[in-house]
Amino acid sequence: MEEESAGTITLIHSLPTLISAIKRGFIIVVDEIDAHLHPKLIQKIIELFNSKHNKEAQLIFNSHDILNMNNENFRRDEIWFVYRNENLESELICLSDFENYKGEKVRKDAKYSKQYMEGRYGADPFIEKGVVFGLEDFKDIKDNVFIKNENNYEKNLEEKYSHSLFIEESDLE
């Protein structure tokens, strides 16, 4: 066990609880499941809860890792996003409630993580003011960096954030 990572050891110690929860139909809630576990270990936990041996147990977790956010692991009604509204209140929205500009729902066979990274579902960090650390010369990279805004249009970083504050790491010392 000495050569195993802290995440693997945590999983090994958690397995009896996970298996017991599946057998008894309990709900397991995990905050930031990706904080200490490798994505492959998370995938195995998801598979345990999705197995035919599980009749009623549920796994509820939050994660910043989108690797396992796909239609092989989850139905659309099992994926929820949290975002802050204009009053800075947290709101939840289910993936199955999203519609595109034509009023069409997210397809069952959609690539959820890819569409999330494209900004189609919101609930992602939208930085009003650009903050860049460790740049020797912003001019060297500004033409090569693009962002996608809330309407999914690419804009050059300089065009989007020309009025914003850029901070060097040395400014923080």
Distance from C-alpha of 93 to C-alpha of 123, rounded to nearest angstrom: 9
Distance from C-alpha of 159 to C-alpha of 127, rounded to nearest angstrom: 14
The position carrying tokens 């850029």 is 166
Query: What pLDDT score does 125 carry?
Result: 57
pTM: 0.65
Q: Each residue's pLDDT tens digit in the chain (173 positions)?
A: 567 777 788 888 888 888 889 989 999 999 998 888 888 889 999 998 999 888 899 999 999 888 899 999 999 999 998 887 788 888 888 999 988 778 889 999 999 998 888 878 776 655 443 444 444 444 444 444 444 444 444 443 444 444 333 433 444 34
- Please state the separation of Cα 19 from the chain's center in Å: 26
Q: And the tokens for 23? A: 């057998």
Distance from C-alpha of 163 to C-alpha of 136, rounded to nearest angstrom: 19
Query: What pLDDT score does 101 carry?
Result: 74
List the domain boundaries for the chain.
1-68, 73-125, 138-172
Query: What pLDDT score does 78 carry?
Result: 94
